[in-house]
């Protein structure tokens, strides 16, 4: 076994703290890479607090992981020692179900292996995430990372990036579409960058007027303050798509009213409590309410390559791992522009 140092929550009520654990030896199809940076996702906090479902403890969060390969298995063909490598929200899947066969491993019918707070495909070995100094991943679930981009700012692409890229691609959002991005956080700021890169007319919907200047700097064409009834009234029936990145509770019916006829609102944020949706909000104007979860491995690589080509990375604030609890507190208040990334050298 490989000894690894990490930061773990021992229970939903304890703060993260140093924890020594072990990873499996590098198997024939495995890649081991030493982690340099790991993004801090809102879902890390949801999971260590048991907000969505009872977690597996000790829990080492982190699924926006980048670093450099230090060892490859004998059968590995896609990576060599010294390459940059990354891993997002999944480390394996069944490979044989109809979704896996269509490159939709994130919807694996037998359950994909989440990078942490999950199990390997033996359904009994717990997985541990990227708040740690090294990781062993099957090469099929390891991503190539470009040397051209700032490495730390690339880390959040592996969750926040693909979570917003995939639905925009699936619904073919682009030229001629009015896209509203609801919420300007880790996900939202990536959605703005992708929406603009794909040629859509992009509006940011936010409760904070203070974010207008930033939204425009990120490339957004318009900004609507959602707490201002006049601005909401003017925005009614105007959007082809709303990408809803908010993971706090909010009024779906109000946002559905901003869609044009045949418009689609796509949820990628995950509030802790279910939302109430009135049938009238959908049937008046034949509207759709949809959801999307991360992206498959092939699409994640496509997204990373697109970002390298178009020079797209996340806007980040680097932190020492000892400051993770403060970072969570600030994240809850929306006080981060726009993603915390842990410098794993501080572990």
Residue number with CB closer to Zn ion (192 or 200): 192
CA atoms of 320 and 341, how far apart (whole Å): 9
| Measured CA distances, 222 to 83, 176, 203 (Å) | 40, 15, 4
Residue 66 or 159 with smaller CB distance to Zn ion: 159
Which residue number, 63 or 177, has a Cβ lying nearer to Zn ion?
63
Residue number with CB closer to Zn ion (38 or 100) = 100
Q: Which residue lies nearer to Zn ion by CB, 110 or 253?
A: 110
Phi-psi region of 254 (alpha: psi -120 to 50; beta: other; left: phi over 0): alpha
Q: How far is the CB of 144 from Zn ion (least distance, A)?
A: 20
Please, which residues have CB within 8 angstroms of residue 3's CB and are 6 or more apart in sequence?
20, 21, 22
Phi-psi region of 320 (alpha: psi -120 to 50; beta: other; left: phi over 0): beta
Which one, 56 or 94, has the nearer CB to Zn ion? 94
Smallest gap from Cβ 112 to Zn ion, in A, equals 7
Q: How far apart are the first and last CA of the chain?
A: 20
Q: Shortest Cβ distance from residue 199 to Zn ion (Å)?
A: 26
In angstroms, what is the minimal distance from the CB of 43 to Zn ion? 4
**What three-state secondary structure class fits 75?**
coil
CA atoms within 13 A on the CB side of 264: 13
Contact partners, residue 146, CB within 8 Å, separation at least 6: 84, 154, 304, 305, 307, 308
The distance of closest approach from Cβ of residue 56 to Zn ion in the complex, given in angstroms and rounded to an integer, is 17
- As given in the structure block, the two tokens for residue 184 are 């300007």
Q: Residue numbers of the site for Zn ion (CB under 5 A)?
A: 41, 43, 93-94, 97, 100, 108, 110, 159
Cβ 76 to Zn ion, closest distance in Å? 22
């Amino acid at each position: 076994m490989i000894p690894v140092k990490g930061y773990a929550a021992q229970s939903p009520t304890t703060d993260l703290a140093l924890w020594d654990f072990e990873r499996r030896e590098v198997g024939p199809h495995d890649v081991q890479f030493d982690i340099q940076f790991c993004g801090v996702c809102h879902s890390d906090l949801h999971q260590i607090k048991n907000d969505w479902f009872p977690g597996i403890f000790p829990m080492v969060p982190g699924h926006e992981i980048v670093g450099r390969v230090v060892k490859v298995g004998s059968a590995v063909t896609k990576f060599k020692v010294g390459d940059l490598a990354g891993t997002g929200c999944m480390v394996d899947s069944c490979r044989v179900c109809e979704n896996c066969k269509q490159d939709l491993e994130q919807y694996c019918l037998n359950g994909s292996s989440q990078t942490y707070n999950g199990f390997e495909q033996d359904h009994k070995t717990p997985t541990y995430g990227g708040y740690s100094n090294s990781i062993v991943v099957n090469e099929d679930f390891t991503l190539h990372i470009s040397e051209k981009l700032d490495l730390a700012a690339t880390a959040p692409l592996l969750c926040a990036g693909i979570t917003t890229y995939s639905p925009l691609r699936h619904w073919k959002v682009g030229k001629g579409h009015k896209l509203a991005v609801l919420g300007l956080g880790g996900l939202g700021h990536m959605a703005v960058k992708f929406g603009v890169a794909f040629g859509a007319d992009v509006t940011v919907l936010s409760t904070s007027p203070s974010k207008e200047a930033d939204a425009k700097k990120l490339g957004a064409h318009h900004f609507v303050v959602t707490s201002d009834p006049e601005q909401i009234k003017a925005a009614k029936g105007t959007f082809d798509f709303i990408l809803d990145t908010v993971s706090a509770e909010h009024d779906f019916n109000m946002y559905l009213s901003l869609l044009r006829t045949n418009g689609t609102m796509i949820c990628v944020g995950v509030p802790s409590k279910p939302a109430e949706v009135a049938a009238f909000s959908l049937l008046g104007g034949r509207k759709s309410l949809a959801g999307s979860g991360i992206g498959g491995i092939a699409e994640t690589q496509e997204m990373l390559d697109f970002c390298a080509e178009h020079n797209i990375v996340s806007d980040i604030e680097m932190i020492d791992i000892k400051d993770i609890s403060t970072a969570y507190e600030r994240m809850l208040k929306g006080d981060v522009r726009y993603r915390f990334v842990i410098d794993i050298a501080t572990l």
